[in-house]
Amino acid sequence: MDRQTGPRPRRGPGPRGRGADRPDGGRARRDAGALHAVAARARRPCAAPGRHAPWEKSIIEENTVTETLKVINTGLAFVLELAMLVSLGYWGFYGDKSTWAKWILGLGLPLLAAVVWGIFLAPKSTYRLGNISGNLLALCLFLLAAAALFYTRHTLLAVTFALTAVVNRVLILLWEQW
């Protein structure tokens, strides 16, 4: 081992620490301009990033809120599409039909609705319908799913689904999201 066994060397009475090798002995002095800048920052209200004073313009503007609502409306449209397929499938399996009829309606009706949606209503479809006719067909499919829920004695769910679908389609028309 290479340890020194003798006493530690003593330092002189001069300054120690950061800046000890500077000519002023480590005592940096700020000029008056820097002090004024620091004082101005300290007097600034709500200077933290992302904060604003009550009298200043709000960071959240109307456009941001509208864009957020548009994204939520688009997500709601997707959830309605999935709920439509589930409710049509549930109606197909519901009731006093034979086993074969239950399987054919329970799987065939959602498949038929998905094919119609994919051909005429999908965003990248070659046969995509126009704004009014596409939204009308989508609303008809949604109302058909609401009727299927009503037939299966889920009245409150059917009414909620129908009202949500109508509001969603109206907002899609107003915001030109088609």
Q: Tens-digit pLDDT profile for the chain (178 aa)?
A: 556 666 666 666 666 666 666 666 555 555 666 666 666 666 655 555 556 555 555 555 667 888 999 999 999 999 999 999 999 999 999 988 899 999 999 999 999 999 999 999 999 999 999 999 999 999 999 999 999 999 999 999 999 999 999 999 999 999 999 8
Check residue 128 and give its pLDDT.
95
Characterize 67-91 residue by residue with b for buried, 16 or more Cβ atoms within 10 angstroms of its Cβ, and e for exposed: eeeeeebeebbeebbebbbebbbbb
Contact yes or no for 142/84 (Cβ under 8 A) = yes
pLDDT of residue 166: 98
Please tell me the predicted confidence (pLDDT) of residue 64. Answer: 87
Query: Whose structure tokens read 């049509």?
Result: 88
Q: For residues 138 and 83, is the Cβ–Cβ distance under 8 A?
A: no
What is the model's pLDDT at position 97? 84
Predicted local distance difference test score (pLDDT) of residue 33: 64
**Does residue 73 contact residue 80 with C-beta atoms inside 8 Å?**
no
Say if residues 68 and 60 touch (Cβ distance below 8 Å): no
C-alpha distance from residue 121 to each of 15, 125, 138, 166, 175 (Å): 79, 7, 7, 16, 17
Query: Do 111 and 97 touch, CB atoms closer than 8 A?
Result: no
